[in-house]
Structure 1
Amino acid sequence: MIGMNSIDIYMTLEERISSAFRMDEETWLRHANPWSVWTRLTALPLLVAAFWSREWLGWWAIIPVTLAVLWTYLNPRIFKRPESTDSWASRSVLGERVWLNRDRIPVPEHHRRVPVILNLIAATGTVPIVWGVYRLEVWPLLPGFAMVYLGKLWYLDRMVWLYQDMKENPEYRDWLY
């Protein structure tokens, strides 16, 4: 990775995440369903509860962990395409797609740094969450959840703004219906 700056590494990470979830065109359309967006917010608490269950279930905790991971993977796939993408939640997903495509179609300057910062805030929130789950202590979970959800929801709001600014691009124009 010689010659790559931190944003190049970050973009590669985003692309890897999208690839790991096998987000094809149909999956993105289904994920634009507001039900998918809002229920996706349950993934982190379910994962935390699943890993915490090791205290009561021992090695059997692998079952709730597997189910939580499966939910995280299936969530963008189980909902139908939305009847309209003209909702905040749908446009946040459309903006995420624009953001992931920013190497091919550059985004305006005022959208280039804030999403990176917000994702770093959300990622930083995972540290106290992992610590709390490891130590089986609730107190680190609360600030961790606050950081993750503040960063993620603010990021999604920025993605709505990004899509609004980019929606006239011929590649993105038909996404809003």
Structure 2
Amino acid sequence: MKWRSYTTFERKISAIFKLDEETWLKHANPWSVWTRNTALPALVIAFWSRVWLGWWAVIPIIIAISWTYLNPRLFEKPKSTDNWASKSVLGERVWSNRDNVKIPDHHKRAPNILNIIAGIGAIFVIWSVYSLEIWPLIVGFSLVYCGKLWFLDRMVWLYEDMKHVQEYVKWLY
């Protein structure tokens, strides 16, 4: 399967991060999935550090952005993908390919709603970093992580419903 067709928004994002077949498999490692949750706090701290470091804050910002890019590449392919974290990544792949392989109707609405919730949270996070206020950061983190983790849980369910499809069978081992 080629991931060069950038029809879905998610495929456009994976193209920006240059996620190919090999990188997706590495990202399915549970260590990659769980440590990915450190990317947002790292970015927030890095941008917030402008208060303490001035222009030197560019260094932690570059490190945080690099971590976000490198995380899916740093880990080995998982020994097994038969676990919640791996299936969440496999489900994300199925979701991003929904324009090529039809997904069941009951999976079409919730992921979009959960992404909107996480997106609203991101607005609060950005506002908190700009204004240096804690309360929008707490609200933003809550919305981002609730939205994203619930989205991942939906992706596990999506993968479970789609794992019989020819191109997805080989992903579960």
Q: Would you call these one fold, judging by a TM-score over 0.5? A: yes
- The residue that corresponds to 2:71 in the other structure is 75
- The residue that corresponds to 1:43 in the other structure is 39
Provide the TM-score with structure 1 as the length reference: 0.93
1:138 aligns with 2:140: no
1:89 aligns with 2:118: no
- The residue that corresponds to 1:22 in the other structure is 18
* Match among 148, 155, 161 for residue 152 of structure 1: 148
Counterpart-to-counterpart distance in 2, 1:108 and 1:38? 27
For residues 81-113 of structure 1, the C-alpha deviation after alignment (integer angstroms, 9 at most, x for no partner) is 000000100000000000000011010000001
For residues 98-133 of structure 1, the C-alpha deviation after alignment (integer angstroms, 9 at most, x for no partner) is 000001101000000110110110011011111111
Identity, % of aligned pairs? 66
Counterpart-to-counterpart distance in 2, 1:93 and 1:12? 16
Flag as ranges the 4+ runs of structure 1 deviating above 4 A.
Answer: none
Q: CA RMSD in A?
A: 0.8
1:12 shift after superposition: 3.8
Counterpart-to-counterpart distance in 2, 1:126 and 1:171? 33
Provide the TM-score with structure 2 as the length reference: 0.95
Counting only pairs closer than 5 Å after superposition, residues 60-71 of structure 1 correspond to structure 2 as: 60-71=56-67
1:70 shift after superposition: 0.1
- The residue that corresponds to 1:122 in the other structure is 118
Secondary structure of the 2:103 match is: coil
Name the amino acid aligned to 2:19.
M
Asked if the contact 2:11/2:97 (under 8 Å) is kept, the reply is: no
Name the amino acid aligned to 1:50.
A
Counterpart-to-counterpart distance in 2, 1:12 and 1:106? 13
Name the amino acid aligned to 2:151.
Y
Ranges in structure 2 where 5+ consecutive residues have no aligned partner: 1-6
- The residue that corresponds to 2:55 in the other structure is 59
